[in-house]
Amino acid sequence: MIITENKPWEEVKQALELHHVKNVVIVACGICAAKVGTGGTEGAAKMKSQLVEHGFNVVTTAVVDEPCDERMTKQAFRKIKDEINEVDAVVSLTCGLGTQAMNTVMREKFPKKVALTALNTVFMGETERFGVYKEGCRACGDCILNETGGVCPITHCAKSMLNGPCGGSVDGKCEVGDYTRPCGWIEIYEALESIDRLDLFLKVREPRNWSESGHQRELNMRDKPAKEEGGDIHD
User: Rule CB under 8 A: which residues touch another protein?
Assistant: 158-172, 175-177, 179, 185-186, 189, 193, 198, 201-204, 206-208, 210
> Using an 8 Å Cβ cutoff, are 114 and 106 in contact?
yes
**Is the CB of 124 or the CB of 158 nearer to another protein?**
158
**Is the CB of 1 or the CB of 166 nearer to another protein?**
166
At closest approach, how far in Å is the CB of 212 from another protein?
A: 15
How far apart are the C-alpha atoms of 187 and 181, rounded to whole Å? 11
Q: How far is CA 185 from the centre of its chain?
A: 25
- Ramachandran region, residue 199 (left: φ > 0; alpha: ψ -120 to 50; beta: rest): alpha
Report the Cα–Cα distance between both ends of the chain, in Å, rounded.
Answer: 23
At closest approach, how far in Å is the CB of 145 from another protein?
A: 18
**Is the CB of 24 or the CB of 174 nearer to another protein?**
174
At closest approach, how far in Å is the CB of 201 from another protein?
A: 5
**Is the CB of 67 or the CB of 153 nearer to another protein?**
153
- DSSP string across 94-126: S-HHHHHHHHHHHHHH-TT-EEEE-EEEEEEEE
At closest approach, how far in Å is the CB of 193 from another protein?
A: 8
Which one, of 159, 208, 206, 157, lies nearest residue 186 by Cα?
A: 157
**Is the CB of 13 or the CB of 181 nearer to another protein?**
181
At closest approach, how far in Å is the CB of 134 from another protein?
A: 18
At closest approach, how far in Å is the CB of 3 from another protein?
A: 20
**Is the CB of 6 or the CB of 169 nearer to another protein?**
169
How far apart are the C-alpha atoms of 185 and 162, rounded to whole Å? 9
Residues 6 or more apart whose CB falls under 8 angstroms from that of 63 comprise 27, 28, 29, 30, 34, 39, 40, 41, 44
